[in-house]
Chain A
Amino acid sequence: MKRLLWPLLLLCSLLPAQQIQVSEHSLSNGMKILIHPDRDVPNVALYFFYKIGSRNERPGTTGISHYFEHMMFNGAKKYGPKQFDIEMEKAGGSNNAYTTRDITAYTDWFPKSALELMFDMEADRIRDLAFDPKIVESERGVVYSERRMSIDNSPFGTLYEQVNAAAYTAHPYGWPVVGWASDIEAWTMDDLKAHFKMGYAPNNCVMVVTGDVNQSEVLALAKKYIEPIPAQPPPPAIRTKEPAQLGERRIVVKRPSALALLLISYHIPETRHADGPALELLEAILSSGRSSRLYSRLVDKDQLVLNINAGTQLALDPGQFLFSMQVRSGVDPIKAEAALYDELAKLAAAPVPAAELEKAKTQKLAGHYRALKTISGKANLIGQYEVFFGDYRKLNTVAAELEKVTAAGIQRVASQYFKETNRTVGTLIPVQGGAQ
């Protein structure tokens, strides 16, 4: 089935309908504020993106960014232990937070009536966080439990941690965001305080507000609560650059598992690099939807794997293009690995047909707009574009950026990065002891 015309129509139709209007402001202490009113529901999403993550850690304190993310909910000067959650839930709000290699994000959702309360509580914890030794200990247990759940008791989590550590020999992306177990056991109060001082300054943060708000009320509250908090020096620049990889690295993990797993990592540039759009489209060509090259070959036609995912992660420093697969029972993982390389070689050898490239552009764009359906989706994307792409306005030029990518460009990028010398291959081999 060749459907050349439809995707072209799509690009034209989506573009004007989905411009996200954002107003940009700065406080005198350096905090940037991005506001997007949307009155579809009487609620607000208030997101804070602190530009500090596991890449700002050092050996011995790995995981402390994430641990700190937990500690931000454990009491400050005006709102003591538990009060942030208690007051927020009582006002009809809820929250979460997440930590990546590059950022720590705090995500608040609440009815508009709670807007001032949220500014008061957010300012309180940025300005006057408390460090209660008893809570520091109990939260250590919580984080350790999280590590056991997401890594130690997960075949994929175990393999991912090992592949990552092998892919990076020098750069801090090599250690896990949650932290090595021995570091979780050993963080000290001084480590926590140093981390707070390094990363939690208003000038190191982007605030995004979407939902049922007026620009003027947000700015008035920001001036009242956030602006008095003084600026501090930002975290030191990451000096270490990962040296070029000169040959394939292979690691094996043996542990109980029903199926073998494969995880293959290629080094690629940082998110805002000019090759970004082509890499995004490669992700779609390779694994978006069941008509994608890898799904149709490895899952459907050859039946070598149960599922396959391919893709990049947002990254301030040079990152990875990852392929993960669950190998079917009775299949030698080497066959699945060979089929993947065969498909990657095809991309390097010949340009992608025009219809396939258009399909990929349509899929990427449709996915982008699906992420804009909710106020929380919009808050997250606005912040991610500002931090990782360097400008929230790029949110509105996604279609144009994708449109610029040519089949020749895809071919060049595929051959440049999907090289044997640039990859780290992890295989999880099931052993007795768990589900067989």
Chain B
Amino acid sequence: MIARTIPFLLVCGALLAQSPAVKLPPFSKKILPNGATLIVIEKPDVPLVTLRAIFRGGGEAVAPAQAGLAPLTAELLRRGAAALSASQINEQLDSLGAQLQTSAEPGSTVVALEYMKRNQDASLALFEQILLKPAFPEAEFTKSRAQAVDRAKSAKDNPGRVINLYWDPFFYPAAHPYHAPLSGDELTLASITRDHVLAYHKANFTGRNLILIASGDLAASTLGPRLEQIASALPAGEAHKPPAAAPVKFDSPRLLLIDKPDATQTYFMIGWPGLARTDRDRTAVQVINTLFGGRFTSMLNDELRVNSGLTYGARSRFEEERLPGSVYISTYTKVESTVQAIDIALGLLTSLRDKGISAEQLLSARNYIKGRFPTEQLETAEDIAAILGEIELFGLNKGEIDDYFSRLDALDLDQANAAARKWYRNDNLQFLLVGPAAKIQDQVKKYAPKMKVQSINTPGLRTPPFD
């Protein structure tokens, strides 16, 4: 199957809205004695229930030398718990028709189980073991780590994927909590020991760090107490202390070219410092980004794809994490048109700052965000669990939900254009390229006097120092 576009996703995480027809269902929230937060929400459309356990910590609680520890620990939760072996857990999950997903984010680890309503008791028993009694068997640790190393190596076969993995080490300075790649690389993964996993688990998988959400075809009156029992069994432990970091700043443009001699397209990202998940400008930036590179008719996609045929897709994104992240343009084009595409992207960025957006564009973006909102954010039990989790994790409040459409409506043209000038910078830009260096490096020098070329075969995802 070959699709017209790679879907444009709204980059907003917990952007919710109150409208006459779209409302978050009522939910109950409780703080347990060990510090855990429990949220239960009834959303009965299919006979399925989603449990979402979010532990604060994630990638930012890991030492850079052990990058990859967070997802590795998350994976190992399902590879042995109490008396159950990894294969017994797998057999139970599959027989129940349940799905378990574990993942790590920059600021959290997520354990999500979706089960059939009819199999609630057996599913909860399994979830309880995984959450409370992971065993981290030595053999499973060794196996998982070796698999993660091979996975890290093979990521370099896909230039569109690997450019995203290089972005954090390139963009964030070495001391920043987001500098090390979340999934690690073959070097950092190889240095992780089982003791690292045990210590990381003990420190972070605590009651104080837990946000547990149940959403779906459930009865809050019976499931609530059972989940309370499970969550309460975790030791209170210490609350995760989010590391501080100075805002990312650049004194000059930099360009890193990852040399992949066999690539027939150049993949590039152009970025600059952006905002935090809780920044008060987030609604304005959502609107501006929609118009600049967040949908099919956006300025970037219109010019680079529709008008010039240079690429299959061009977009811009802004990261939304606890600490201010990056805003970036990303696309790809055949090697011969690398400079032409970058020049067009830079021209559009300057034009956005200089000319701003029109009232008509503001209206269109507002309608687009609102129109997609119900199916993007509120349609399934998982959507709602994810949103509620994000609100808790980032310390947002109900206003994030209830006031979103009114905040969108209240945004006037001057405010939107002020946000465009503030958050869409064109000075000291950071260029990351993956492509054949021999064919393009002389041409792309012009973008940054500080340019480095590194072979994609250089082990790991480390990027060279620029100063």
Q: Residues of B contacting A299 with CB < 8 Å?
A: 147
CA distance A42 to B86 in the complex (A): 43
Q: A137 — which chain B residues lie within 8 A by C-beta? A: 309
The verdict on A329 contacting chain B, using a C-beta distance below 8 Å, is yes
Given contacts A1-B95, A98-B1, A149-B160, contact A141 B310 (CB under 8 A): yes
A55 interface hit (Cβ, 8 Å) = no
Q: In the assembled complex, how far is the CB of residue B342 from the closest CB belonging to chain A, in whole angstroms?
A: 15
Known: A138-B308, A373-B46. A109 touches B372 (CB 8 A): yes
Within 8 A of A (CB), among B352-375: 363-364, 367-368, 370-372, 374-375
Contact in complex: A92, B367 (CB < 8 Å): yes
A90-B364 CB under 8 A given contacts A114-B371, A363-B97? yes
Smallest Cβ-Cβ distance to B295: which chain A residue: A89
In the complex, per-residue mask of A150-170: 1 if CB is within 8 Å of any chain B CB, else 0: 101111000000000000000
Chain A, 14-55, contact with B by CB distance < 8 Å: what is the 0/1 string?
A: 100110000000000000000000001111000000000000
Mask: chain B, 81-98; 1 = CB below 8 Å from A; 0 = not: 000001110111111111
**Cβ-defined partner of B295 (8 Å) among A94, A177, A296, A435:** A94
Interface mask (B151-175 → A, CB under 8 Å = 1, otherwise 0): 1011111111000000000000000
A70 lies within 8 A of B265 (CB):
no
* A408 beta carbon closer than 8 Å to chain B: no
Which among B2, B143, B310, B457 is the interface contact of A66 at CB below 8 angstroms?
Answer: B2
* Interface positions of A from 65 to 123, Cβ below 8 Å from B: 66, 69-70, 73, 82, 85-86, 89-100, 109-111, 114
Give Cα A255 to B157, complex, Å.
10
Enumerate chain B residues within 8 angstroms of A404, measured Cβ to Cβ. Answer: none
Complexed CA–CA distance, A114 and B372 (Å): 12
Cβ B90 vs Cβ A145 within 8 A: no
Contact residues in A for B95 (Cβ distance below 8 Å):
1, 3, 6-7, 291, 355, 358-359, 362
CB-defined contacts of B5 to chain A, threshold 8 Å: 96
The yes or no answer to B221 lying at the interface (CB within 8 A) is no
Whether A178 sits at the interface, judged by CB under 8 Å, is yes
B117 surroundings in chain A (CB, below 8 A): 13
Q: Are A153 and B306 in contact (CB-based, < 8 A)?
A: no
Q: Within B439-461, which residues are at the interface with A (CB < 8 Å)?
A: 456-457
Which residues in B have their C-beta under 8 angstroms from that of A7? 95, 97
Q: Return the CB mask of A279-294 against B: 1 if under 8 Å, else 0.
A: 0000000001111100
Residue in chain A with minimal CB distance to B161? A154
Interface residue total, chain A, C-beta cutoff 8 A: 93
Asked if residues B93 and A291 are in contact (CB atoms below 8 Å), the reply is: yes
Contact call A376/B456, Cβ cutoff below 8 A: no
Task: Select A372's contact among B46, B118, B296, beta carbons within 8 Å.
Answer: B46
Task: Write out, one digit per residue, whether chain A residues 356-391 have a CB within 8 A of any chain B CB (1) or not (0).
Answer: 001100110110011011111000000000000000
A434 B310 Cβ-Cβ under 8 A: no
Are A362 and B375 closer than 8 Å at their CB atoms? Answer: no
Contact B93 A289 (CB under 8 A): yes
B132 CB-CB contact with A under 8 Å: no
Q: Hey, which chain A residues are within 8 Å of B238, CB to CB?
A: none
| B103 interface residue per 8 A CB criterion | no
B21 located at the interface, meaning its Cβ lies under 8 Å from any Cβ of chain A in the complex: yes
From A42, A85, A145, A435, give the contact of B265 (CB < 8 A).
Answer: A145
**A145:B4 contact, CB within 8 angstroms:** no
Verify A434–B118 contact, CB threshold 8 A: no
B46 touches A369 (CB 8 A): yes
Verify if A10 is at the interface (C-beta below 8 Å from B): yes
Q: Determine the distance from Cα of A96 to Cα of B86 in the docked complex, in whole angstroms.
A: 40
- Determine whether the beta carbon of A41 is less than 8 Å from that of B457: no
A145 near B332: Cβ-Cβ < 8 Å: yes
Decide: B379 and A41 in contact? CB cutoff 8 A. yes
B406 at the interface (CB under 8 A from A): no
Contact check, A148 vs B116: say whether CB atoms are below 8 A apart. no
Assuming the contacts A362-B95, A435-B153, asked whether A41 and B4 have C-beta atoms less than 8 A apart, the reply is no
Are A178 and B297 interface neighbours, CB within 8 A?
no
| Stretch of B30-38, B256-264, B268-276, B416-424 lying at the A interface | B256-264
What residues of chain A lie closer than 8 Å to B378, measured between beta carbons? 41
Across the interface, which residues of A come within 8 angstroms of B47, CB to CB? 13-14, 17-18, 369
A69 to B140, CA, bound (A): 47
Q: Are B3 and A258 closer than 8 Å at their CB atoms?
A: no
B250 within 8 A of A: no
Is the C-beta of A140 less than 8 angstroms from some C-beta in chain B? yes
Tell whether A131 is near chain B: CB-to-CB under 8 Å: no
Q: Which single residue of chain B is at the shortest CB-CB distance from A367? A: B97
A300 in contact (CB, < 8 A)? yes
Shortest beta-carbon distance from A135 to chain B in Å = 9
Shortest distance between the CB of B451 and any CB in chain A (Å): 22
* Residues B4 and A69 in contact, CB atoms below 8 Å apart: yes
A435–B93 touching, CB < 8 Å: no
Which residues of B have CB within 8 Å of A144? 334
Q: When the two chains form their complex, are residues A435 and B457 in contact, meaning their CB atoms are under 8 A apart?
A: yes
Q: Assess whether A434 is in contact with B157, with CB atoms less than 8 Å apart.
A: yes
CA distance A15 to B189 in the complex (A): 45
A54 closest partner in B (C-beta): B2
Contact assessment for B2 and A85 in the assembled complex, using a CB-CB cutoff below 8 Å: no
Is residue B56 within 8 Å, beta carbon to beta carbon, of the partner chain?
A: no
- Separation in Å of the A329 CB from the closest CB of chain B? 5
For B19, give the chain A residue with the smallest CB separation. A42
> Nearest A residue to B333 by beta-carbon distance?
A145
Chain A contacts for B45, CB-based, 8 A: 40, 373
Question: When the two chains form the complex, which single residue of A3, A40, A93, A141 contacts B92, counting CB atoms closer than 8 Å?
Answer: A3
Q: Show 16 residue pairs from A and B whose CB-CB distance is below 8 angstroms, ordered by the A residue.
A: A1-B91, A40-B45, A145-B309, A148-B334, A153-B160, A177-B2, A256-B261, A257-B157, A259-B150, A289-B90, A291-B91, A329-B153, A358-B95, A362-B94, A366-B98, A366-B116
For the A-B complex with A109-B375, A142-B305, A434-B156 known, give 8 more contacts whose Cβ atoms are closer than 8 Å.
Answer: A40-B379, A92-B372, A94-B295, A178-B2, A292-B94, A375-B375, A435-B154, A436-B457
> Using a CB–CB distance below 8 Å, which chain B residues touch chain A?
1-5, 7-8, 19, 21-22, 45-48, 86-88, 90-99, 114, 116-119, 122, 143, 146-147, 150-151, 153-160, 260-265, 295-297, 302, 305-312, 332-334, 363-364, 367-368, 370-372, 374-375, 378-380, 456-457
List the 6 closest A-B pairs by CB distance, nearest first: A92-B371, A141-B309, A435-B156, A138-B309, A366-B97, A289-B94
User: Chain A interface (Cβ within 8 Å of chain B)?
Assistant: 1, 3, 6-7, 9-10, 13-14, 17-18, 40-43, 66, 69-70, 73, 82, 85-86, 89-100, 109-111, 114, 137-146, 148-150, 152-155, 177-178, 212, 255-259, 288-292, 296, 299-300, 303, 306, 326, 328-329, 355, 358-359, 362-363, 365-366, 369-370, 372-376, 433-436
